Structure 1
């Protein structure tokens, strides 16, 4: 550390914002350099003993309605009406940005997703099929798209139904990444972030835990395949109509002017169509017409003629008649990229940046509007309706009613990602408890499978059985997961795991990004790589890792509940290096890196530095000092860096 220079310590407590406090022995120095920035800190909450999962009281500090004069009442009504209109508008933009985000992911990784499905040798491995389902759904940001690819492959005979079941399970996991991303965008407030991230990841834990139980059971016995096969064979199911796509009807007027995609290209790549490999996903012609004509063609000999077709010999050549279909382009699309002449990757990256910007903006504005609207009696009524159970002895029915609501809403909008992403901000601000969000999410899982079943019933007769069986496998998988992790309160493990993760990410906010990267990208990619290397490699690496993970989990549980049964060396993890059993050392490094980068940016812009100091002077929990050097003190050790 620089001798004689004032030091600043980063506090790891409080609101988990980077906190810099001046050392007491330098507090009396009269003048310090004016160019050194410091960061904001917040005091520890006064109510440290309060449960952070308690829903907050959104109090209305304004003037009561009875105390307003006529002009005030008219202004309040107009203000409330304007806020409601703005909320609906921002919600519409939020849903549209999710649609564009899905399109951007398909442009960036859609063809790669189609190529992943082409290796049938890998798909025959159930573990590889599972992680492929996760990766493809994350790449295209749509479980409906990945499921339709699987159905297309099964219908064309390229993939067996039994091999497709793990892929459907993976698609169920991958679709939960959207609302987890939405939760990350609420990281501005510690407690809101805690609740929002837990409300989003309860979906992740439900899917992963269901897979951990049901995938080995399916591999060993094939119960999902056999059960759905029995249902298909037992009922004379007729071809039905397409499922209503209300969400598309609502969002299409805006999104079709931004981008339109030909999703059949991804299915064509997966099914081995050579013409689809070099075809762009961006739709250029939105209205086409196919005309089939009977034309004369030559064949090598009479033996090559189709039995039912006319065949003759003329001028020493064998001729026959054959139907040929030509496609005529009638009308171009109207979206903004129709004349761009850009590659799919460039358009995808542009849309990805714009959609994420729109998503963040809409989410921030929605949360602020909800904060201003859900106060006083309005908040009391809404929270009572959403979070109150039925009276005894029918309280257990409340969760199942929430499942029906979640399934119905998802059926209406035809997207579980949209529904779960919409309730995530409500969980964050405390309108919906995580205990109520859990059955709503489970119902959403069921709702998205019922729409797939209706869509499968619209398939042609020759492919109806296979496509419907895959959809039923998805449905039965979610029903079995609900039976495992909901009816008995003690089995609602996903809620406890999500709360534990919410507490961890509220304390170390960077851990949320690490969780997303590990859970939805790195882990599936590693498992896929081991699967491609062969099942011997997968077993040789995977079994020791699983055994170690189970050992750590068991020891952690015993440390919390039955410490006396453990040997003395395992009663704590202190014998390991601290980075192996604590996030504090990592948090120190991340905090230091972020502070250093922020400091450099502020040095480049004097106005940024002045604005930051003005904000801190308004915060009464801070003492502001200009400091040319940054020191970090943690557990008696002092770390220093020059700014």
Structure 2
């Protein structure tokens, strides 16, 4: 045999390697399809639950602080932000959860996922110096995400910063209005929808369907992670050191890519802990990799957002923006980069003196504080069911609006599935002083005769306050006080104007009329009944 020619053993070895590669690739594709199928089944299950279950979800997430710690607690318990964010995306896509309520959950999930690396650091408890370094490495991710929450949560709470930004990006990219999912996964066509529809119709029970979808979801995530970890060879510390820590930018890029592939920042960041503990790499060298992992983990939300829904895309974008903005704050500027490092190393020094400090930190941060805040804020929201009556062309229909209110903020959700109801719709109401925003439409509660010019997707318009009614009697059992009557006239629609009756004390759209130029009413939507929950 000539020198340099492959032997039969070499050829056989290469064929075996190709077979292994093809098999693992098939496993990965299969796990991905199962993951998407589980989300599609979860979406159908949530829609199948109906209004009562949706109200329960609304109550649980009404307080943004509670929603934040729900995300933290759930992720800390199941140790998978992938599962938490995927479920959140499915809830948003199904219309069971608003974008504004979902974002705090995503923030909490980002903090909760760091518990894994913190738990790993406790494994070095018997060795004092290694334990100090391990705690610093394990809690750096904690402090980074906590600091990011401290910055972005107030911006979201007071100004809906991430909500509006992610909605704008999603609308710009997809040229469609934000709303719940009306269909199945856009990437895989209608095949999965047919299967899920068959399963839903056969089983019929929404809660059983959700349990099944969760089992499939977790199984696919674990299987996917196991195959990818084995395929990429993350078996030793030397592998990490050789490939992932050559320079800050390369380390950051590897953090993004490996975490996106494995779909678990918990795995990649936890593997850094023993490297730092044993002084294979320093914490500062590992920081870019950890921050890259924080970006890479957002791939799960985008995969989940393959639902045919811009609002699902919006929550995925919000998840990415939260992590990306955090990285942009704490990575490029050395002074800011040192803040979470100093906090983590400071906790490491404390654990060197008091061994149980690390365990106490874990219990307080991930369990005691979330449980306490969820418990004490459980009654901070009020729920009201509004029934509206629509009259058009001598035909009367009804639709129900479920409102939740928390500290002068209200979100109104219309649920499908009941007799004579409209398709699902989500919109928000915010009030600050005399400015009221209903479904992104501004109403300035001023004096009669006050007018303002504006422009929206339907064109330019003029909105004027025609009068303020001291009291409006809607029916014998329902009347409301202090009603502002707005007339909205579009330049292009001179023959028709829209009249809205707004209750200032309750921030409610009480009545909506379409009138012709003679003042004749063409159609009416009027509040019919109010039921406090």
Question: Is residue 510 from structure 1 mapped to residue 356 from structure 2 by the alignment?
Answer: yes
Aligned 1:14-413 pairs, distance under 5 A: 118-236=56-174, 241=187, 273-276=206-209, 398-413=247-262
Residues 206-259 of structure 1: CA deviation (Å, up to 9, x unaligned): 0111101110011111111111111111113897648xxxxxxxxxxxxxxxxx
Aligned mates of 1:141, 1:282 — CA distance in 2: 15
**Post-superposition offset of 1:275:** 3.7
- Structure 1 length normalisation: TM-score? 0.42
CA distance 1:237–1:139, shift in 2 (3 Å): farther
Aligned to 1:332: none
- Residue 527 of structure 1: aligned partner: 373
Structure 1 residues not aligned, in runs of 5+: 1-113, 243-271, 287-334, 336-365, 389-397, 540-643
Give the alignment's TM-score, normalised by structure 2. Answer: 0.50
For the structure 1 residues 467 and 386, does the alpha-carbon distance in structure 2 shift closer, same or farther, using more than 3 Å as the test? closer
Seen in structure 2, the aligned counterparts of structure 1 residues 282 and 211 have a Cα distance that, compared at 3 Å, is closer
Distance 1:469 1:222 in 2: 13
Q: Give 1:399 shift.
A: 2.7
Among 401, 414, 418, the residue aligned to 2:263: 414
Per-residue Cα deviation, 1:279-338 (whole angstroms, up to 9, x for no partner): 79767xx9xxxxxxxxxxxxxxxxxxxxxxxxxxxxxxxxxxxxxxxxxxxxxxxx9xxx
Checking the alignment, whether the CA contact within 8 Å between 2:57 and 2:96 is kept in structure 1 is no
Tell me which of 315, 322, 328 is aligned to 1:483. 328
Q: For each residue in 1:81-120, what CA deviation from the matched residue of structure 2 results, as whole angstroms up to 9, or x when unmatched?
A: xxxxxxxxxxxxxxxxxxxxxxxxxxxxxxxxx9999441
- The CA deviation at 1:153 is 1.4
Residue 278 of structure 2: aligned partner = 429
Q: Is the 8 A contact 1:179 1:417 kept in 2?
A: yes
Counterpart residue number, 2:302: 453
Residues in 1 aligned to 2:317 and 2:150: alpha-carbon distance in whole angstroms = 20
- Unpaired runs of 5+ residues, structure 2, are 1-48, 177-184, 189-204, 224-233, 383-405, 408-533
Contact 2:75 2:84 survives alignment (8 Å): yes
Whole-Å Cα distance in 1 between the matches of residues 241 and 250 of structure 2?
Answer: 16
Contact conserved, 2:70 with 2:374, CA < 8 A, in 1? Answer: yes
Q: Decide whether aligned partners of structure 1 residues 191 and 386 sit closer, same or farther in structure 2, where only a CA change above 3 A counts.
A: farther
Counterpart in 1 of 2:344?
498
The alignment yields a C-alpha RMSD, in angstroms, of 3.8
Conserved? CA contact 1:225–1:473, under 8 Å: yes
- Alignment partners' CA distance in 1, 2:242 and 2:88: 43
Seen in structure 2, the aligned counterparts of structure 1 residues 410 and 513 have a Cα distance that, compared at 3 Å, is same
Distance 2:106 2:73 in 1: 12
- The CA distance in 1 between the partners of 2:315 and 2:99, in whole Å, is 7
Q: Would the alpha carbon gap of residues 279 and 190 (structure 1) be closer, same or farther in structure 2, given more than 3 Å must change?
A: same
**Residue 240 and residue 423 in structure 1: after superposition, are their counterparts in 2 closer, same or farther (change >3 A)?**
farther
Query: Quick check: which one's helix share is greater?
Result: 1
Look up the SS of the partner of 2:298 in the other structure: helix
**Higher RCO structure (Cα 8 Å, ≥6 apart):** 1
Aligned length: 298
C-alpha distance in 2 between matches for 1:240 and 1:132: 30
SS in 1 for 2:280: coil
Q: How many angstroms apart in 1 are the aligned matches of 2:82 and 2:244?
A: 29
State the Cα distance separating 1:188 from its structure 2 match: 2.4
Per-residue deviation at 1:407? 0.3
